[in-house]
Amino acid sequence: MDWLDSVKWDNDGLVPAIAQEFGSGDVLMFAWMNREALAQTAASGRAVYWSRSRQQLWHKGEESGHVQQVHEMRLDCDNDVVLLRVTQLGHQPGIACHTGRHSCFFQRLEGGQWRSVEPVLKDPAAIYR
């Protein structure tokens, strides 16, 4: 059986994908993949997602240069979530978030409010020209 057939795709043909930084263990981002995105990710060793808003393949870093090199791909116990262990290329330290931050998870719940607690490493205006 094809390894892609082992994945339980949802009703939209998608599977959630978590990108984790290989060295630090930091959770960088969360996105979705369809079958083609997952196949291309495995074949190329670069993360490819499915953009639900644009309804097209999203080669991570295609505009920003912030490509994700994929070291390892994992599947969970229910076969319906993918975990990528990646190196975030294009900037040091890596920038996974479109806001110019290291990780998309930069808002922390503090005293009943979400507060931004991580620095912007690069101005998004300079990333997306």
Exposure on the CB side of residue 68, measured as CA atoms within 13 A: 33
88 and 96 Cβ atoms separated by less than 8 Å: yes
For the bound state, the minimum distance from the C-beta of residue 16 to a copy of itself, rounded and expressed in Å, comes to 6
For the bound state, the minimum distance from the C-beta of residue 23 to a copy of itself, rounded and expressed in Å, comes to 10
Q: Which stretch binds a copy of itself (CB under 8 A): 14-22, 54-62, 86-94?
A: 14-22
Q: How far apart, in whole angstroms, are the C-alpha atoms of residue 125 and residue 62?
A: 16
Q: How far apart, in whole angstroms, are the C-alpha atoms of residue 68 and residue 22?
A: 10
For the bound state, the minimum distance from the C-beta of residue 117 to a copy of itself, rounded and expressed in Å, comes to 9
Q: Which stretch binds a copy of itself (CB under 8 A): 60-68, 76-84, 86-94?
A: 76-84
Q: Count CB atoms within 10 A of the CB of residue 37.
A: 25
Q: Give the binding site for a copy of itself (CB under 8 A).
A: 3, 6, 16, 18, 20, 24-27, 29-30, 42, 72-79, 81, 83, 97-99, 101, 104-109, 112-114
